[in-house]
Amino acid sequence: MTYLLALDQGTSSSRSIVFDRAGRVVAMAQREFPQIYPKPGWVEHDPRAIWQTQLETAREVLKQAQLQAGQIASVGITNQRETTLLWNRQSGEPVCNAIVWQDRRTEPICARLRDQGHEDTIRQKTGLRIDAYFSATKLAWMLEQVPEARAQAERGELAFGTVDTWLMWNLTSGERHVTDVSNASRTMLFNVHSRQWDDELLALLGIPSSLLPEVLPSSAAFGRMKPDRLGAPLEIGGVAGDQQSALFGQACYQAGMAKNTYGTGCFLLMHTGEQFQTSENGLITTATAQAAGTPQYALEGSVFIGGAVVQWLRDGLRAIEASSEVQALAESVPDAGGVVLVPAFTGLGAPYWQPDARGSITGITRGTTMAHIARAALESIAFQSAALLEAMSRDAVAAGGVPVRELRVDGGACVNDLLMQFQADLLGIPVVRPEVIETTALGAAYLAGLQAGIYSGTDELAAQWRAERTFQPGMPRDQAQEKMAQWERAVRQTTRQ
């Protein structure tokens, strides 16, 4: 048997998964690590905790699988994106905590860039909006606010990286300072056309180029880990940011194919092939996970509150004791009874981009019960995702393409049959759940397998993808459109001035 190891470093936990050649999960290990909230709107991680938990799970999963490290053909890495780290090249010690993608402290820097008129330039070069979400302003803040960081950086003593780069630095004992094109494309410093760090953007933010890692394709020779890490000098052959890795693991390799990951938030990506397409509907453009060759792109939209609305039902309203109970409660009523819940707890993401929006529940009557609210909460996940896919389809048609014909789904909440059926009903296209829903880690494993020569190419991987269930739309289109109109009316109420 041939085995691949995926290191899946997420926002709240580090996981390691062993896959066999057919893409089946052999074993999995997971460890949570602390979230640090120094001030309102600030979110940090201890870089050492990221590294230690990832290493521990990698060792643990090999024991669970009863494998020696030498039986692993290659290693893939996938990671929380945009989270920013800065460390000393000599000692390997971080100069401060990592600033997490959710952190909003750099909004004043973003506002200054917008006021100076740089929005269009940055969008054309990177595909991104100016936002504190991305790495560039986090790194600029570190250089300005961490004592001695600016001077050390100017002397070439420091290294910057996203989480993948930090892990590879530690796995190779500082021999490799590298990233891949998909992670680089999330920094707001990388020109996705030339596939190079952009000197104009670096100068704009005062970032020395000596800080930056080498950028490789997502399937490449990233380096060889030290034998003392896992017991053998394993090759790292695949690296991708988590959402691009999920797109790859879902075998969405052709323009027009799309996947949605239902996690704490929802992340919807549509492959646009070799075409760099600027969205006119509130989406961003990102580089896909890719082997060497012609650049490939995707449109992406993010829903801030997806599965987290179920956590709110559990922890805030105490409507349920466990998240798994929500489907039964929602199914105890035939529909939401006219109730619409907009979970704008932290504003609204794409395609609305309303940071000041706040949550609302509309349509309540004397007959409204907690079951109706639970059903409306589940439906809110589907409504937000439908709004994203409609925006993507408009962009696709405007660019001479075709609307999305099916949606592949993954993530924890995709196991909810009620939610998936309602999603298909709203969209009017099939929603397809794969046999393996660990597609983020699977994508990294596949990228590593390609580099190791285990797979001949993406055609072989596409043939290996298997559907577990397809949810066919059953709602008349006029009824679905009325429901979407009802949703949009509720959204407008949350964003009124």
Q: Per-residue DSSP letters for 402-432?
A: -----EEEESGGGG-HHHHHHHHHHHTS-EE
CA-closest candidate to residue 159, choices 216, 94, 96: 94
Percentage of the chain exceeding pLDDT 70: 99
What integer is the mean pLDDT of 4-10? 95
**Domains 3-233 and 251-434+466-497 in one fold:** yes
H/E element, 471: strand 467-471
pLDDT score of 6 more than 60 = yes
Q: How far apart are CA 426 and CA 476, in angstroms?
A: 9
Rounded to 5 degrees, what are φ and ψ at 322? -135, 145
What is the structure's pLDDT at 43?
86
pLDDT score of 303 more than 90 = no
Domain boundaries, the chain: 3-233, 251-434+466-497
Q: How far apart are CA 224 and CA 227, in angstroms?
A: 9
| Model confidence, pTM | 0.88
Helices 417-427 and 477-494, axial angle in degrees (round to 10): 100
What integer is the mean pLDDT of 224-237? 94
In which band, very low, low, confident or very high, does the pLDDT at 496 lie, cut at 50, 70 and 90?
Answer: low
Q: Are 293 and 253 in contact (CB under 8 A)?
A: no
Q: How far apart are CA 193 and CA 424, in angstroms?
A: 35
What integer is the mean pLDDT of 176-199? 95
pLDDT score of 497 more than 60 = no
Q: Are 32 and 46 in contact (CB under 8 A)?
A: no
pLDDT score of 394 more than 90 = no
What is the structure's pLDDT at 278?
83
pLDDT score of 101 more than 70 = yes
40-56: b (≥16 Cβ within 10 Å) or e: eeebbbbbebbbebbbe
What is the structure's pLDDT at 235?
95
Range from 52-56, 89-93, 333-337 carrying the lowest mean pLDDT: 333-337
Residues in CB range of 458: below 8 A, 6 or more apart: 251, 253, 450
Q: What are the residues facing 410 on neighbouring strands? A: 261
CA-closest candidate to residue 429, choices 384, 393, 465: 393
* pLDDT tens digits along 242-271: 999 999 999 999 888 999 998 878 899 999
What is the structure's pLDDT at 493?
84
pLDDT score of 142 more than 70 = yes
Query: What CATH code would you report for 251-434+466-497?
Result: 3.30.420.40
pLDDT score of 196 more than 80 = yes
Query: What CATH code would you report for 3-233?
Result: 3.30.420.40
What is the structure's pLDDT at 1?
67
Q: What are the residues facing 235 on neighbouring strands? A: 224
What integer is the mean pLDDT of 108-117? 93
Report residue 128 as tokens. 């991104």
